[in-house]
């Protein structure tokens, strides 16, 4: 590791996931002595630990990948249209080796506290093992979905069988053959996991608190020569991505939603047109109307149609009815699946709709609910994440006057300027912080822009002799007003929607929509304008 004193660097990066790997490469390339601190024993971040069966990205591999290196995008070989977890993890390792990053990554190094020392304008960063690192700049590349949310269910630790958490699945896998398995949670993770577990396990009991809206999707291996053809046109693919609001121009979970916006309203469709939409296009046809994002009544009408579409797939009418969501469509992140509803026609699968009676406790032999007891050998918790702010709230981060970041977010909600900085925390950059487009975009496309903006910013400050940059409270306030005004007319903020997008999935977390929905090109334009204007909204000193 390159250092001019014990633990002194120009920039410290927290996390060696996709953001941290690129941040290291970029900052090093700018001549900055950079060290990445990673709590895990491997690179890859969220994609290295979410190893549950069925884990897969819902954006196409050729777009869910770094665009900054022509060599990497030409050399790496994707085997499927949408990549599965093992391939994404291998890709992260390939990039780490190809760019010779490992020498500047400290693994098993968990940051637990950091303090901004005002006289020296330096961050002092402490790790669980007691090391201290010092640098003027810190880049938090700690992930938006990196802190699993374990539910607070009585008796969880009394279970005598195997408890598994999708967010930290055992590296060597788990043989579920012949076992009675419970899955708690039916978000993106549960919807991916459930069809695969159903095939492996003797019995599967799905505990569903909120049914999902999910659209069927075909993932397939590339045909011979297909990937080479795509790679030959990579310049056009990347250009189209850059121009696209979600940073992914090909079909993805996000682009389906965007296309819906241009569709005619359900409210002016005739009953025959609505029925035909379901007959011809199933669950997608049920939801494919332009007014569902803005008009809660239209959304309810579409949900009713959605129920009809489910009933055409799921044989048992009770089970089909139990799979119909009660929250508005599109207020949670879109989900795509492979054979989710068909899974409930299997003899070995039981659905427990917790809206009819919730979980009371986990017992040594299984799960007790208000509807009865279920004996199982394995419980899988697919219960989500403390998203966006979770990772940094777990570090004791002290900015100016000793103020703690976790207190600011607890009191004011997940505030930030551009999702890049929080007022009162100079020289601390957040990659994909709250208020940035991350949540509603292709994360890799979004992180590349953030890393590049941060690198240019640090270089420019140093070239001009500035020591600190910090978001102005007024600019932060205006940004939050702007981001929240964008979603105000949509179902994204409907009170019945508890989503990680708005913090409603975490008990006690202050609710605020945490994304930027005007799209990546507009966001990039604003960030470039701010930089070109001498970092408007930031104080430089
Ligand atoms: P999630 O969408 O927040 O879903 C968590 C599920 O657990 C929900 O169904 C939730 O119910 C349930 N749950 C939580 N606590 C519970 C409790 N005490 N009792 C019963 N049920 C409980 O989390 P996720 O599925 O892990 O997905 C999070 C995000 O990760 C996704 O939105 C996506 O961005 C990303 N992800 C992406 C992919 C992909 O690329 N395809 C795959 C997996 C994850 P409620 O809804 O009622 O709270």
pLDDT of res. 253: 81
CATH code of the domain containing 488: 3.50.50.60
pLDDT of res. 4: 44
Mutate to test the pocket of ligand 1, among 189, 256, 386, 500 (most ligand atoms within 8 A of CB): 189
How many domains, the chain? 2
Which of 352, 381, 410 is the last residue in one of the domains?
Answer: 381
The two structure tokens encoding residue 392: 């940094």
The count of residues in the chain is: 541
In a domain, 192, yes or no: yes
Q: What is the 3-state secondary structure (H, E, C) of 86-154?
A: HHHHHHHHHHHHHCCCHHHEECCCCEEEEEEECCCCEEEEEECCCCEEEECEEEECCCCCCCECCCCCC
Nearest CA to ligand 1 atom 29: 188
Give CA–CA dist 475/251, Å, rounded: 35
Give 10-residue mean pLDDT values along the chain (541 residues).
64 98 98 98 97 96 98 98 98 98 98 98 97 98 96 97 97 96 98 98 98 95 98 98 95 84 95 97 96 96 98 98 96 93 98 98 98 98 97 98 98 97 98 94 97 98 98 98 95 90 94 95 98 98 96
Nearest CA to ligand 1 atom 46: 210
Pick the closest to residue 387 from 333, 316, 343 (CA basis): 333
Instruction: List the domain range (segments joined by +) for residue 350.
Output: 156-225+241-381
**CA 405 vs CA 119, 121, 145, 430, 433: distances in Å:** 20, 17, 18, 12, 13
**CA 146 vs CA 40, 48, 217, 387, 482: distances in Å:** 11, 10, 26, 7, 27
pLDDT of res. 2: 38
pTM (two decimals): 0.96
361 and 392 part of one domain = no
DSSP assignment of 306-358, as one string?
A: HHHHHHHH-SSHHHHHHTS-SSPTTSS--EEESSHHHHTTSTTEEEEEGGGS-
In a domain, 482, yes or no: yes
252 and 318 part of one domain = yes
405 and 515 part of one domain = yes
176 and 297 part of one domain = yes
Which of 326, 357, 381 is the last residue in one of the domains?
Answer: 381
400 and 352 part of one domain = no
In a domain, 77, yes or no: no
Which residues partner with 374 through β-bridges?
A: 367
Does residue 165 line the site of ligand 1, with CB under 6 A?
Answer: no
In a domain, 90, yes or no: no
**CA 41 vs CA 13, 56, 107, 128: distances in Å:** 16, 22, 5, 14
In a domain, 298, yes or no: yes
pLDDT of res. 363: 98
Which of 354, 381, 408 is the last residue in one of the domains?
Answer: 381
366 and 399 part of one domain = no
Give CA–CA dist 135/252, Å, rounded: 39
- Cα 94–Cα 96–Cα 101 angle in degrees, nearest 5: 155
Render pLDDT for 495-540 as a digit per residue (tens, 0 to 9): 888 999 999 999 999 999 999 999 999 999 999 999 999 999 999 9
352 and 494 part of one domain = no
In a domain, 18, yes or no: yes
pLDDT of res. 1: 40
Mutate to test the pocket of ligand 1, among 384, 387, 507, 514 (most ligand atoms within 8 A of CB): 384
In a domain, 92, yes or no: no
The rounded Å distance from CA 382 to ligand 1 centre is 6
In a domain, 286, yes or no: yes
Ligand 1: atom nearest CA of 359 is 19
356 and 457 part of one domain = no
pLDDT of res. 263: 94
374 and 430 part of one domain = no
193 and 296 part of one domain = yes
377 and 526 part of one domain = no
The rounded Å distance from CA 184 to ligand 1 centre is 10
291 and 252 part of one domain = yes
């Amino acid at each position: 590791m390159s250092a001019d004193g014990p633990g002194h660097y120009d920039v410290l990066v927290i996390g060696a996931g996709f953001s941290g790997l690129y941040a290291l490469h970029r900052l090093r390339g700018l001549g900055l002595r950079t060290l990445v601190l990673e709590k895990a024993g491997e690179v890859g971040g969220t994609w290295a630990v979410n190893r549950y069966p069925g884990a897969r990205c819902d954006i196409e591999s050729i777009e869910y990948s770094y665009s900054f290196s022509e060599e990497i995008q030409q050399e790496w070989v994707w085997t499927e249209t949408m990549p599965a977890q093992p391939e994404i993890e291998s890709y992260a390792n390939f990039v780490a080796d190809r760019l010779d990053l490992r020498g500047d990554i400290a693994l098993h190094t968990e940051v637990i506290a950091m303090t901004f020392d005002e006289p020296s304008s330096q961050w002092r960063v402490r790790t669980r093992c007691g090391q201290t690192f010092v640098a003027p700049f810190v880049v938090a590349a700690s992930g938006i979905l990196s802190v699993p949310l374990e539910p607070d269910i009585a008796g969880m630790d009394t279970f005598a069988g195997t408890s598994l958490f999708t967010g930290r699945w055992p590296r060597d896998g788990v043989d579920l053959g012949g076992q009675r398995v419970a899955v708690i949670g039916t978000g993106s993770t549960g919807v991916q996991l459930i069809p695969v577990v159903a095939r492996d396990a003797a019995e599967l009991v799905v505990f569903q608190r909120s049914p999902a809206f999910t659209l069927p999707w075909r993932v397939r291996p590339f045909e011979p020569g297909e990937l080479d053809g795509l790679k030959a046109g990579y310049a056009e693919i990347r250009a189209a991505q850059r121009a696209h609001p979600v940073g992914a121009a090909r079909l993805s979970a996000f682009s389906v939603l965007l296309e819906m916006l241009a569709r005619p309203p359900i409210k002016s469709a005739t009953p025959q047109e609505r029925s035909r939409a379901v007959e011809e296009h199933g669950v997608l046809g049920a939801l494919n109307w332009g007014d569902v994002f803005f008009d809660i009544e239209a959304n309810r009408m579409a949900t009713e149609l959605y129920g009809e579409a489910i009933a055409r797939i799921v044989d048992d009418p009770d089970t089909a009815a139990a799979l119909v969501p009660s929250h508005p469509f599109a207020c949670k992140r879109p989900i795509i699946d492979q054979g989710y509803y068909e899974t409930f026609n299997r003899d070995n699968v039981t659905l427990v709709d917790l809206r009819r009676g919730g979980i009371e406790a986990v017992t040594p032999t299984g799960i007790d609910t208000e509807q009865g007891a279920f004996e199982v050998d394995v419980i899988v918790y697919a219960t989500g994440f403390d998203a966006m702010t979770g990772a940094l709230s777990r570090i004791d981060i002290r900015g100016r006057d000793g103020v703690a970041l976790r207190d600011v977010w607890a009191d004011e909600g997940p505030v930030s300027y551009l999702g890049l900085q929080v007022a009162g925390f100079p020289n601390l950059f957040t990659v994909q912080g709250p208020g940035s487009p991350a949540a509603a975009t292709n994360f890799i496309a979004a992180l590349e822009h953030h890393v590049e903006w941060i690198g240019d910013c640090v270089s420019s400050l140093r070239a001009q002799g500035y020591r600190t940059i910090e978001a102005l409270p007024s600019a932060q306030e205006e940004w939050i007003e702007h981001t929240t005004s964008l979603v105000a007319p949509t179902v994204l903020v409907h009170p019945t929607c508890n989503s990680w997008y708005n913090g409603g999935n975490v008990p006690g977390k202050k609710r605020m929509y945490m994304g930027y929905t005007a799209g990546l090109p507009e966001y990039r334009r604003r960030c470039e304008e701010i930089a070109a204007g001498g970092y408007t909204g930031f104080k430089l000193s």
